[in-house]
Chain A
Amino acid sequence: MNIKIQDSTHSTRYIDIYITQRTFDASQLFIMLIFSFFKTLTDQVITVELKNDLSITGTLKSVDQFLNIRLDGISVEDPERHPHMLAVKNCFIRGSVVRYVRMAARSVDTTLLEDATRREAKEAKK
C-alpha cells in the first residue's frame, strides 16, 4: 500500500508501508499459512482426532480462520463408545477442540510448505 505524504519542503514523497504492516501481522501470517494449507485439503478424506479421544473420518468440506472444520460423510472410530454419532452424517468441529488432523501423505507437498514457511519467516524479520 502506498501512501502520499508532504514534508516541510513541500515535496511529495511516497512511502511504502506494505512491509511495515506485514511485520506487524507476522503471527497472523503463520496462522494464514496453515489455514491456506487446510484449504488445499478440501474434498479430501481426513481424520480429525479430538481432545476427548473421539476420532472422526470424513471428507473435508470447509475450514475457517479458527480452523473450525466441516466434515461430510463421517464415520467414527469405535462407534460403541460413541453411540450418539451413529445418526450423524456430517458435522462441524470447533477448531479449539482438535488434537490432530491426519491426512494421506500424498496430499501434502512438504517442500512447498517448507518454502512457504521460510518465506514468511523472512518477511516477518524484515
Chain B
Amino acid sequence: MDALIPFTTSGSLVDLVDKKVLVVLRDGRKLIGVFRSYDQFANFLLEQCIERIHFKFEYADKDIGVLLVRGENVVALGEIDLIAEDMVPLQQVSWSQVEEKINEDNKRRERDHTIKDKVLGSMGFVNDGREGDAY
C-alpha cells in the first residue's frame, strides 16, 4: 500500500503542508504563502499570502492575507528553499517602481507586436497570437 500513496495528488502534496510555497497562476501571477490545505483538484489554501511581481532582478510584494486558489488557475506549486531564498540575487524595491517598469516593458512589447503584425499582414500572414494566451 505504501508504494501506492505517492501516485495520488494527496500523496504527493502532503509533505508540502505548512511549508512556504510559491504558486504560479495561469495569468502569470506569483503568490507566496504558507501552504495549509489542498484537494485532488489542486485547489490550494494559502495563509499569510503575498503577491510578488518581478522585473528582471527586482521584485515587489503586496499583502493579500488568506487565499483559496481554485485549482483550474494553478500552473505550478513550488516549495521555497529557505536557504536558497537568502542567496538569490534579487532586490526588493517598491511596488510602484516595479509596476511602472513592467508597464513600460508591456507598452514596448505591444508596439513591437503592432509593427510585426503590420509587416506580416502586408505579406498575407495573420499573426494574432500573443504571449500568455497559450492556455
By a beta-carbon cutoff of 8 Å, the part of chain A in contact with chain B is 39, 42, 50-53, 56, 61-66, 68, 70, 74, 80, 83-94, 96-97, 99
Q: Are A80 and B56 in contact (CB under 8 A)?
A: yes
User: Could you say which residues of chain B place their CB within 8 Å of the CB of A63?
Assistant: 7
Q: What is the count of residue pairs linking A and B with beta-carbon distances less than 8 angstroms?
A: 99
A42 to chain B minimum Cβ distance, whole angstroms, is 8
**Minimum CB–CB distance for A77 against chain B, Å:** 14
- Given the complex of chains A and B, what is the CA–CA distance between A74 and B24 in angstroms? 15
Check if B11 sits within 8 Å of A62, measured CB to CB.
yes
Interchain CB contact under 8 A, A87 and B84: yes
Contact with A along B46-67 (1 / 0, CB 8 A): 0000001010110100000000
B76 contacts chain A at the CB level, 8 A cutoff: yes
Given contacts A62-B7, A90-B79, 18 further A-B contacts (CB under 8 A): A39-B7, A50-B75, A52-B132, A65-B7, A83-B54, A83-B56, A83-B57, A83-B59, A84-B30, A87-B88, A88-B22, A88-B80, A89-B79, A91-B78, A91-B79, A92-B16, A92-B77, A94-B42
Within 8 A of A (CB), among B13-68: 13, 16, 22, 24, 26, 28, 30, 40, 42, 52, 54, 56-57, 59
**Are the CB atoms of B81 and A89 closer together than 8 Å?**
yes
